[in-house]
Amino acid sequence: MSSKIITMALNPAPIDNSYIRLIEFLMLSKHRIYELASQHGLTGMQAVTLCLLDQPKPMNSFGKIYNCDPANVTGIIDGLESKQLVTRFESPTDHRLKMVRLEPAGRKIQTQLLHELCDPKGYILGKLNSQEAIQFSKLIAKLLTE
């Protein structure tokens, strides 16, 4: 074993507190979304799915985001579809692919959820001024770029 590997094992790199803070932020955000979801008669994952449907999306894209198998995504979409909030349809370019789009009732709840999430009284980012909020949004977009 080289001395460099031994040194690294004995003296690991310090933990970057930004990851700890990011996890804390994500968990607080999750709790807020789930709280709002229950007020609309939705599960947390149903609310998240509605919020992510800015345009029609393939069902498998949710599995990638949620890191779950297709059966879980189907269950989430089944619940939303039974409430007439979304519709499934075949992709016009690939008939093997199932797509999901918002129905008017789903768009209404999506809008309400997003407004409630951004309400300064309960908004986790409410401490940021407008310039900081824009900067934060740009940083998130950069992190999500593949």
Q: Could you tell me if residue 23 is inside a domain?
A: yes
Q: Could you tell me if residue 127 is inside a domain?
A: yes
Q: Could you tell me if residue 12 is inside a domain?
A: no
Q: Could you tell me if residue 76 is inside a domain?
A: yes
Whether 124 contacts 118, CB under 8 Å: no
Q: Could you tell me if residue 4 is inside a domain?
A: no
Least confident of 21-25, 118-122, 132-136: 118-122
pTM of the model: 0.79
- How far is C-alpha 118 from the geometric centre of its chain's CA atoms? 15
Name the band, by pLDDT with cuts 50, 70 and 90, for residue 129.
confident
Least confident of 11-20, 87-96, 112-121: 11-20
> How many structural domains are present in the chain?
1
Q: Could you tell me if residue 123 is inside a domain?
A: yes
One-letter amino acid at 65 equals I
CATH, residue 69: 1.10.10.10
Q: Could you tell me if residue 8 is inside a domain?
A: no
Q: Choose between 125 and 39: higher pLDDT.
A: 39
Domain ranges, residue 24: 19-144
- Please give the Cα distance from 146 to 129 (Å, whole number): 28
Q: Could you tell me if residue 92 is inside a domain?
A: yes
Those residues with Cβ within 8 angstroms of residue 29's Cβ, 6 or more apart along the chain or in another chain: 124
